[in-house]
Chains A and B, each alone.
Chain A
Amino acid sequence: MPFASGYFRTSYARELRLVDTRAQAASLTVFLAALGAFPFVASSFLLDLANQFFLASIGAVALMLLTGYAGQVSLGHAGLLAAGAFTVGILVKEANAPFWVTLPAAAGVGALLGVVFGLPSLRLRGLYLAVSTLALYFVVHYVGSEYETERGFSTGIIVDPPALGPLVVSDARAWYFVLLAAAAATVVLALNLLRSRSGRAWRAIRDHETVAEALGIGVPAYKLAAFVVSSMLTAVAGALFAYYRGFVSIEAFSLFLSIQYVAMVIIGGMGSILGALLGAAFVTLFPYAIEALIEVLPTPERYANLVFAVNYAAFGLVMVAFLLFEPEGLVGIWRRVRDWFVLWPFRQRPLAGTK
């Protein structure tokens, strides 16, 4: 329409688009171009940070599907990452299996564990469900550490860089593109699920389980599906993590890691994929920010041995602060900032009495 007086959707198919307006398509193109150019200008430190973020974002999006959309709490996320990583480690060590075998195997193990983690959700809710996933985390953790000690890999398992035919993914730049592709695929997959029947069923279950059931949604099946999808993605993230670090050790999968993923979902903003990504970025960068802050102090060497303690404490404080003051998370802040720019020079104030 050459002289359209506004922006109109003229078919139902247009409502389904992930990228709708021309402005959105343009900004997405610019964003992707920037992502593509980033590894050619960034230092190796920044490149490693970006890779860590991509890995974290896969896990965060997976947990967001489960907790933020399907409403099922899980503290077992580190166990699923460990399961993926150990599937790779064990298959590489015991069978010298290649990349294209270990990754699907990790996904399979993730799916299986998803069913196991999900079964309690058919009976339990909220805090009780969280505790049952926590118990399962300890089971996975135990199996991993037993494998390490029994097989004499008490310091961890070395994993060679993956080879895709003659192409060996070993340097950080190659990893950047592999992990970027994996993270992007995860985001697209999650958005696809959310704009179709399963995603709506999950959100319906989160809001009103009985009503969802009375409308014909097989609640147990959809809860299990949420656990399976989330666990598969998480296990794949764990597998990629094992290859990226070139090393698998159960110590990397402490309970604190589970908490970090829950924090990503809360700090980012419940019920938003963008929130999961923002949360993943925040939690990944947070320790480096604390370290940099301590470096700025007048005598940094005196606090060097405090960095870890300060890091943990500050992390806890930030999480509490978000829960208290910004329940909508980073994505809530982002929306407010965006609205401010959209409405400028006018200002939006909530009506008296609302919130």
Chain B
Amino acid sequence: MAELAVERVTLRFGGLVVLDDVSLAVERGELCALIGPNGAGKTSVFNCISGLYRPASGRIRFQGHDLVGMKPHAVAQRGVARTFQHGELFPHLTVVENLLVGRHTRFRTNIVGETLFSRRVRAQEVEHRRVTEEILDFVELGRHRHTTVAELPFGMQKLVGFARALALEPQLLLLDEPSAGLNRDEREDLARFILRIKHELGIPMIWIEHDMQMVADLADRIFVLDYGRPLAEGTPAQVLNDPRVIAAYLGQAAA
């Protein structure tokens, strides 16, 4: 059974049909790319999964539970973590603090203990601080740990967003254009991190991406959306040579 199964999801804003009968499934340890021209509804799929949008019909099953109708924070507590297209970090917090916010659901403290900074709270803070350091090692951001995020260049901010999602210890990772705005070196680093997550942690990932070379090189499977409708699905070789996909991206004549 698939780890995540989006089943016949339709999303409407008033009369506008944003997603029309979209289905996709991701297995454990699988890296699935979600591609499509601008406005195809890729991010809307993520917003439906993470509970920010509520689809008009359809089901989203994750590890046997239906996510539709759950509040975003409840979805995150189930282990669904995501990154955002523009980073969307907490600019006034340091890198470590951003990651600790990512670990919010893993803390076992209450506000009364926190006001007194009890021994338990202190122990938890130290423990989670240690874990953030492991994640910082993983994404090679250790030297910026105490930098306020607003002071970091954009590429590094996106990497912090990636690390913040990892900090949640996710069971499913939704990556929304993680490579957009990154230079070549940063992209290569990112590709390495994504592959390491896949091979070492086995976390299933859905990955929205516009860099077709990167998709062709890394993805196990590709879903293509066009105007909110599923257009094609399959291995990179199948999908990227599909005349319908080429037409959607480059126009009818090119196909």
A positions within 8 Å CB-CB of B = 11-13, 15-16, 189, 192-193, 195-201, 203-204, 206-208, 210-219, 225, 229, 271
Knowing A193-B114, A197-B107, say if A213 contacts B73 (CB, 8 Å): yes
B125 nearest in chain A by CB position: A16
Cβ contact within 8 Å between A215 and B102 = yes
How many residue pairs between the two chains, A and B, have CB atoms under 8 Å in the bound complex?
Answer: 106
Q: Name the A residues within 8 Å of B91 (CB-CB).
A: 207
Cβ contact within 8 Å between A200 and B101 = yes
Residue among B88, B97, B111, B133 making CB contact with A200, cutoff 8 Å: B97
Q: Name the B residues within 8 Å of A200 (CB-CB).
A: 93, 97, 100-101, 104
Q: Which of B13-21, B27-35, B75-83, B185-193 makes up part of the contact surface?
A: B75-83
Q: Name the A residues within 8 Å of B51 (CB-CB).
A: 214
* Selected A-B contacts with CB under 8 Å, 11 pairs: A15-B129, A197-B114, A203-B93, A204-B104, A207-B91, A211-B89, A213-B72, A215-B168, A216-B73, A216-B77, A229-B111
Knowing A195-B117, A196-B117, say if A214 contacts B82 (CB, 8 Å): yes
Cβ contact within 8 Å between B76 and A215 = yes
B127 nearest in chain A by CB position: A12
Is residue B44 within 8 Å, beta carbon to beta carbon, of the partner chain? no
- B67 CB, nearest partner CB in chain A, Å: 13
Is residue B196 within 8 Å, beta carbon to beta carbon, of the partner chain? no
B positions within 8 Å CB-CB of A = 50-52, 71-73, 75-77, 81-82, 84, 88-93, 97, 100-102, 104-105, 107, 109, 111, 114-117, 121-122, 125-126, 129-130, 133, 164, 168
B164 nearest in chain A by CB position: A215
Cβ contact within 8 Å between B90 and A207 = yes
Residue among A12, A210, A271 making CB contact with B126, cutoff 8 Å: A12
Interchain CA distance A198-B101 in the complex, whole Å: 10
Q: Name the B residues within 8 Å of A218 (CB-CB).
A: 71, 73
Interchain CA distance A12-B125 in the complex, whole Å: 8
Cβ contact within 8 Å between A197 and B104 = yes
Cβ contact within 8 Å between B115 and A16 = no
- A208 CB, nearest partner CB in chain B, Å: 6
- B152 CB, nearest partner CB in chain A, Å: 14
- B134 CB, nearest partner CB in chain A, Å: 12
Cβ contact within 8 Å between A217 and B116 = no
Cβ contact within 8 Å between A195 and B125 = yes
B145 nearest in chain A by CB position: A15
A205 nearest in chain B by CB position: B90
Cβ contact within 8 Å between B101 and A204 = yes
Cβ contact within 8 Å between A193 and B115 = yes
- A191 CB, nearest partner CB in chain B, Å: 9
Interchain CA distance A81-B71 in the complex, whole Å: 35
- A9 CB, nearest partner CB in chain B, Å: 10
Residue among B76, B97, B117 making CB contact with A214, cutoff 8 Å: B76
Residue among B105, B117, B168 making CB contact with A192, cutoff 8 Å: B117
- A200 CB, nearest partner CB in chain B, Å: 5
Interchain CA distance A218-B91 in the complex, whole Å: 20
Q: Name the B residues within 8 Å of A15 (CB-CB).
A: 129
Knowing A213-B72, A215-B101, A216-B76, say if A204 contacts B90 (CB, 8 Å): yes
- B53 CB, nearest partner CB in chain A, Å: 11
- B175 CB, nearest partner CB in chain A, Å: 13
Q: Name the A residues within 8 Å of B125 (CB-CB).
A: 12, 16, 195-196
Interchain CA distance A54-B75 in the complex, whole Å: 44
- B128 CB, nearest partner CB in chain A, Å: 9
* A-B contact sample (7 more), CB < 8 A, given A16-B122, A215-B102: A189-B116, A197-B107, A200-B97, A207-B90, A207-B93, A216-B105, A229-B115
